[in-house]
Chain A
């Protein structure tokens, strides 16, 4: 059963030195407008910083944007950092950016659940999240 957006917390970040942040900021707005809670770490963060923040913030989704072509190098480091903290099974890992067709499957094998190359619609991402976030979060207490 699809999760309610209001109960979903998303962590977004850009790994490495890549400065192309148009897409991830568009996605951040779209997810916020869909009702999700968005934490955007900004640019130039390391895989370890992402994993640490994901754990501390107890997020449901980690979304990474890379347009520098460094995804095949950086994503394995991120999946390892998430595994090291024992949280890789608790969250949905999504990666977007300049990703050639023949690298989609290898990324999925690394543990990325959703690959969204440039041109993907934000609506397809929010749908993917609501359909795949398995963990039922309790509604925020008032």
Chain B
């Protein structure tokens, strides 16, 4: 079955793949129009002329677990071992806007990420890390305005000018309804908060990337590459329209939008996906939204290799999967990269697994030679043809979503309706199910899982979570609550509530609230009082 060469081949996303490609496959492809030089419109070949020969990609392994102090130690370990950016992973209570002592938080405080309740924890998280030198990625969405507020507050306290801060806040609220699903508010209020951050940072924190428009979580939720590309670009268009509706000029905020994709095992399909994404975004920004600055058209992205491709069976095989995926991301021109730990089918990665992931990146960077040439696969009959096919297929989805909207901002309206009706979630769930059936039938070979199983089991040294940390964090939260002025907290939360009712930008109110030691949960509760709670519709 596995070695049968007679079956017609398809990419992982179901696109037809021929055994041989020829110049005929590029008959409609025009070099100047469709590719151009790297660093030039439509940026298919890369956002910059020199790419890695100018500067290597940023090796940014995400990390976070337990308390802020514990995570701070991991950050300093990673910085000492060749990493040059920090990416924060928050625990579920933080991601969903609940304090560590909330009923639903039980067992999850600090479990899959670091627990942050107040600005005091944020201060601990970045202890002895120079915020004006190291770029920081805050991986947070619906409560992004609160965590961003805490980060700005800590910077201010340390005398770091907000203009010198370089980093990213994920702040991609829309994908939370079909990927990752750590929502705290409904689609409309969370989109409003996303736009508040864009507006505030455009004026006050100019070097900050305000949204990391994310396909990664969509892919982890089971989408194929076409859906990942289509829904991510559609989300990006919705954010652009929301900012335009706010009255921001396109070239004021568009240069600070960035992207985040996953990387699966189908190497050439992934490379084609990244190249298509750059071309699509450039044309959308120029032709549709009338951007003038090249910076507004350049799609830059972070890649994370997909945890859902990692198997429990023969976990060392995951190092090979991670290497292939990382290779595809680099061939596709990623700006930064996280290679998932080979032990992630069991738990969050051990220190040893993270060291292997960083080593994978360093071997690609310094030993493989793949970083020497910009867009090395350009001109391949196959790759160019695949890039065209994946772009066409993605446009079909985007047009469908646009048709769901109307008015001056049809992509914004269309995305909201596509979320309301469960269209996107159900499309992704269908792909996830079909992929699972292909694995169970053996049509899709997964080495060690459905074929080539090995007999022996290997014992890994897994990450050891300290359950005491939850109690410690709750104690810390109680201490924060008792050490502040209740009158001040009531005052700042009530003025935040008023600002929400008046539909003002909430960032100034949030900054005031975190400064008065209001907790993340209290701030989000205040917002939930105004905007209502969002309940998972439970569709499948």
Contacts and interface: CB of A to CB of B under 8 A. Distances in A.
A42 B436 contact: no
A69 B349 CA distance: 13
Contact of A22 (B96, B104, B308, B538): B308
Interface residues of A, number: 35
A21 interface: yes
A17 B98 contact: yes
A24 B432 CA distance: 11
B20 interface: no
B221 A22 contact: yes
Contacts of A69: 107-108, 111-112, 347-348, 465
A15 to B, nearest CB: 9
5 contacts: A26-B222, A44-B104, A46-B104, A70-B107, A101-B457
Given A17-B105, A26-B222, A98-B345, A70 B440 contact: no
A121 B449 CA distance: 10
Query: Helix, strand, loop or mixed for chain A's interface?
Result: loop
A99 to B, nearest CB: 8
A16 B108 contact: yes
Contacts of B536: 21, 42-44
Given A42-B535, A42-B538, A70-B107, A26 B433 contact: yes
Pairs A-B, 8 closest by C-beta atoms: A42-B538, A73-B107, A70-B107, A19-B181, A42-B536, A17-B92, A25-B540, A28-B540
Contacts of A121: 439-440
B103 interface: yes
B537 A42 contact: yes
Contact of B180 (A19, A24, A72, A118): A19
Interface string A16-56: 11111110111011100000001011111010000000000
B93 interface: yes
A118 B538 contact: no
A11 B471 CA distance: 32
B538 A30 contact: no
B209 to A, nearest CB: 23
A22 B348 CA distance: 18
A22 B222 contact: yes
A140 interface: no
B384 interface: no
A74 interface: yes
Contacts of B222: 22, 25-26
B106 interface: yes
Contacts of A29: 429, 433, 540
Nearest to B93: A17
A117 B540 contact: no
Contacts of B182: 17, 19
How many chain B residues sit at the interface, stated as a range, is 35 or more
B311 interface: yes
A30 B440 CA distance: 11
Nearest to B449: A119
A18 B92 contact: yes
Contacts of B77: none
A16 B313 CA distance: 27
A122 B439 CA distance: 10
Interface in B511-540: 535-538, 540
B181 A119 contact: no
Given A18-B92, A30-B433, A69-B108, 12 more contacts: A16-B104, A17-B93, A17-B98, A17-B182, A25-B540, A42-B536, A43-B538, A44-B96, A69-B111, A69-B348, A74-B106, A122-B440
Nearest to A67: B112
A46 B308 contact: no
A42 B177 CA distance: 12
A44 B102 CA distance: 12
A68 interface: yes
B76 interface: no
B347 A22 contact: no
Contacts of B472: none
B346 interface: yes
Contacts of A26: 222, 429, 432-433, 436
Interface in B342-378: 345-348
A68 B112 contact: yes
A22 B429 CA distance: 7
A70 B106 contact: yes
A134 interface: no
Interface string B424-449: 00000100110010011000000001
B269 interface: no
